[in-house]
Chain A
Amino acid sequence: MYVAVKGGEAAIANAHRLLAETRRGDASVPELSVAQIREQMALLVDRVMTEGSLHDPDLAALALKQARGDLIEAVFLVRAYRTTLPRFGASEPVETGAMTLRRRISATYKDLPGGQVLGPTFDYTHRLVDFALAAEGEAPVASQAEPLADAAHAPRVTDLLRQDGLIEPSAPDDGSAPGDLTREPLDFPADRALRLQALARGDEGFVLALGYSTQRGYGRTHPFVGEIRVGAVAVEFVPEELGFAVPLGEIDLTECQMVNQFHGSAEVPPQFTRGYGLAFGQSERKAMAMALVDRALRAEELGEPVGAPAQDQEFVLAHCDALQATGFVEHLKLPHYVDFQAELELVRRLRAEHAARRAVPEMKEAAE
């Protein structure tokens, strides 16, 4: 039970002033600019955009500064900001096949049209702390090479498998608008479009742990990374007053195509199935985890036994949102004085009754 409590206004105002001062840290250390955060904490900015479900690098960087680097607090700020803005509409679906690639790898094919490009990656680094970064200095200049003729044409790996009929086709676009969980509360069972929206904005740690659980045997899906691609795609929007697709600009995305082991039934021949992940920015771990969980959530559709946590869409979707989770967990620190007073009364009464019950047999014994 919530009961309005008054008081503490001065303490709250002063706590917020203290927060502002503490946020700045040691004043003899130069202050971070939003542009510095955007440029140099780019993967964190990408994560705030992905889980905040709002693409705006400057806003995400500012939110991180305000939140003192607390990821979920920054997500909270971004989500709160979006509620103040009108919705102009929905974009045309982005064409990830036409992405300007910054990175593209496949664990299933060595030789691919368009090639495998590593791009800026932590993979194959030795994970030794680089103390040179603690000193200021010029960043090393990246190597350059002449792009090969096929570099601009890199079809998705799933398109290649599709040509041979070895992989299931994607459900075709029937022209209907996908559900939007920011407009309608999530209802179960949720279709795959809604599940992907929820997973895309879901907490990376939670989705990662669920994906990991499927690898460890809780709803095994035998996954291969068909492809991960990172790069820029054009976003287009058709404004009512213009009636044609206007280019809004480019955004960076990470896409993961998980290719999963054979599935077959009386009607469908054995073929690979798919799990899909898509996230703002360079968010590789998130896109991979999302693709694993997307595939696990298709267990029922594909006639597989259902029982693992990652296959239970109500469990996954109702708990993957970091903001919802933190809201409910953190509300526990708000005043519950009246609630607790009632609990205290109850415990005292039960203790008294318990003591009385114990006293009665003792008296009986004494009487005998």
Chain B
Amino acid sequence: MPDHNPAARQPEAPVPERPDPAARRAVMALCGEARPEELRRALTQLGGTETVEDLRPPETGLVMTRGRIGGDGRPFNLGEATVTRAAVRLPGGETGFAYHLGRDRAKARLAATLDALWQHPGRRAAVEAALGPVAARRAEERAAQARRIAATRVNFFTMARGDD
């Protein structure tokens, strides 16, 4: 259990800045949707790769995907998905994690590095800006897809029947 009493903390422990979990999740989601070269570009833009230490070497495993009975009821196991994870530490002590669908280990490590960089409040905006092109590309793809799907939406006409 995490200790929430500040007085009980070790004096040398850094006071953790409580980042907005939604903002961190958004960055994580963006990294997951990014192509590896987009993450590489973002890292280069952020000043290249510092010495990044692997807390855990990138590893591929399985996550059992669950659905719900009827879509809204008790969970059931639908089937597994390959997932690759990585965990890194920066020289400044910030740790970053990545969990992505698929088997791309290099990409997971890049994403974990970006997550670690994002942990530093001073760099947060820069990391988000560096991922801006990914967000823009995805938004454009989503909008184009939505337009193609919208063209297949059915407009029903009710046929008038002769005598009524």
A96, B71: Cβ atoms closer than 8 Å: yes
Cβ distance B74 to chain A, nearest Cβ, rounded Å: 5
The number of chain A residues with a CB under 8 A from chain B is: 84
Output the residue of B32, B68, B78 with the most chain A CB within 10 A: B78
Output the residue of A147, A171, A247 with the most chain B CB within 10 A: A247
Q: Which residue of A lies closest to B2 (CB)?
A: A243
Q: Is A116 an interface residue (CB 8 A)?
A: yes
A143, B151: Cβ atoms closer than 8 Å: yes
Per the bound structure, the CA–CA distance linking A117 and B151 in Å amounts to: 8
Cβ distance B132 to chain A, nearest Cβ, rounded Å: 18
Residues in A lying within 8 Å of B, measured CB to CB: 49-50, 52-56, 58-59, 82, 85-94, 96-97, 100-103, 110-111, 115-119, 142-148, 151, 156, 158-159, 169-174, 177-182, 192-194, 196-197, 200-201, 234-235, 237, 239, 241-242, 244-251, 253, 255, 257, 274, 276, 278, 280
B68, A93: Cβ atoms closer than 8 Å: yes
Q: Which residue of A lies closest to B25 (CB)?
A: A247
B101, A251: Cβ atoms closer than 8 Å: yes
For A241, the chain B residues whose CB sits under 8 A away are 87, 97
For A181, the chain B residues whose CB sits under 8 A away are 77
Jot down 30 A-B pairs with beta carbons below 8 A, ordered by A. Answer: A54-B79, A58-B102, A86-B59, A86-B61, A88-B83, A90-B63, A94-B78, A96-B68, A100-B142, A101-B149, A102-B145, A111-B156, A115-B153, A117-B150, A142-B151, A148-B150, A158-B72, A170-B70, A170-B71, A170-B72, A181-B77, A193-B69, A193-B74, A193-B77, A235-B65, A241-B97, A246-B97, A246-B99, A247-B25, A248-B100
Cβ distance A200 to chain B, nearest Cβ, rounded Å: 5
Residues in B lying within 8 Å of A, measured CB to CB: 21, 25, 28-29, 32-33, 59-83, 85, 87, 97, 99-103, 142, 144-154, 156
B103, A56: Cβ atoms closer than 8 Å: yes
Output the residue of A143, A181, A237, A251 with the most chain B CB within 10 A: A237
A172, B74: Cβ atoms closer than 8 Å: yes
B28, A156: Cβ atoms closer than 8 Å: no
Query: A87-B62, A88-B61, A241-B87 are known contacts. Are A142 and B148 too (CB-CB below 8 A)?
Result: yes
For A50, the chain B residues whose CB sits under 8 A away are 79
Cβ distance A94 to chain B, nearest Cβ, rounded Å: 6
Cβ distance A195 to chain B, nearest Cβ, rounded Å: 9
Cβ distance A348 to chain B, nearest Cβ, rounded Å: 51
B71, A247: Cβ atoms closer than 8 Å: no
For B21, the chain A residues whose CB sits under 8 A away are 244
Contacts A94-B66, A196-B78 known; 5 new A-B pairs at CB < 8 A: A58-B103, A146-B147, A156-B71, A169-B73, A193-B77
Query: A82-B62, A241-B97 are known contacts. Are A151 and B150 too (CB-CB below 8 A)?
Result: yes
Contact of A93 among B63, B75, B97, B146 (CB under 8 A): B75
Cβ distance B25 to chain A, nearest Cβ, rounded Å: 6
A257, B71: Cβ atoms closer than 8 Å: yes
A85, B61: Cβ atoms closer than 8 Å: yes
Query: A151-B150, A246-B97 are known contacts. Are A257 and B66 too (CB-CB below 8 A)?
Result: no
A170, B69: Cβ atoms closer than 8 Å: yes
A170, B74: Cβ atoms closer than 8 Å: yes
For A172, the chain B residues whose CB sits under 8 A away are 73-74
Contact of B79 among A55, A85, A242 (CB under 8 A): A55
Per the bound structure, the CA–CA distance linking A97 and B71 in Å amounts to: 7
Contact of B76 among A197, A235, A255 (CB under 8 A): A197
A151, B146: Cβ atoms closer than 8 Å: yes
For A201, the chain B residues whose CB sits under 8 A away are 79
A244, B81: Cβ atoms closer than 8 Å: no
For B73, the chain A residues whose CB sits under 8 A away are 169-173
Q: Which residue of A lies closest to B146 (CB)?
A: A147
B69, A276: Cβ atoms closer than 8 Å: yes
A147, B147: Cβ atoms closer than 8 Å: yes
Query: A151-B150, A237-B63 are known contacts. Are A170 and B28 too (CB-CB below 8 A)?
Result: no
Query: A55-B80, A193-B75 are known contacts. Are A244 and B25 too (CB-CB below 8 A)?
Result: yes
A245, B148: Cβ atoms closer than 8 Å: no
